[in-house]
Amino acid sequence: EVQLVESGGGLVQPGGSLRLSCAASGFTFSSYEMNWVRQAPGKGLEWVSYITSSGSIIYHRDSVKGRFTISRDNAKSSLYLQMNSLRAEDTAVYYCARVTGAFDYWGQGTLVTVSS
């Protein structure tokens, strides 16, 4: 069974940092591209970051470029999102999602709250 389990969310002050993790199981993690997607309270889904299966190519949406970094450790079947210089508008549930064209499996999400 495919499972994606996020962790690392929490309350952080504006300007602070957090590192999200996504532990994958039930499939060959190193064969799949992965994404982070977020959802602000009461809002729609917003793609954040993408990484190829090897980790050699990454993309971020413009609003997080220079602040967020996606990475992965295929030996540990884990995906990461390093978030720096956090802003109030980054408050959201963050999901990791597996890519097969569409996003076929999602984790349960981890809540990041940026507030003083």
Partner 1 sequence: EIVMTQSPATLSVSPGERATLSCRASQSVSSNLAWYQQKPGQAPRLLIYDASTRATGVPARFSGSGSGTEFTLTISSLQSEDFAVYCCQQYYNWPPLYTFGQGTKLEIK
Where do contacts with partner 1 occur on this chain (CB under 8 A)? 35, 37, 44-47, 50, 59, 61, 95, 100-109
Which is nearer to partner 1, 4 or 83 (by Cβ)? 4
Closest separation between CB of residue 95 and partner 1, Å? 6
Give dist(CA 58, CA 69) in Å, integer. Answer: 8
Q: How many residues does the chain have?
A: 116
Which is nearer to partner 1, 16 or 23 (by Cβ)? 23
Closest separation between CB of residue 35 and partner 1, Å? 7
Closest separation between CB of residue 34 and partner 1, Å? 11
Which is nearer to partner 1, 7 or 13 (by Cβ)? 7
Neighbouring CB atoms inside 10 A of 88's CB total 10
Pairing label, strands 33-39, 10-12: unpaired
3-state secondary structure of 52: coil
Which is nearer to partner 1, 23 or 45 (by Cβ)? 45
Which residues is 35 bridged to in the sheet? 50, 97
DSSP-assigned letter for residue 87 = -
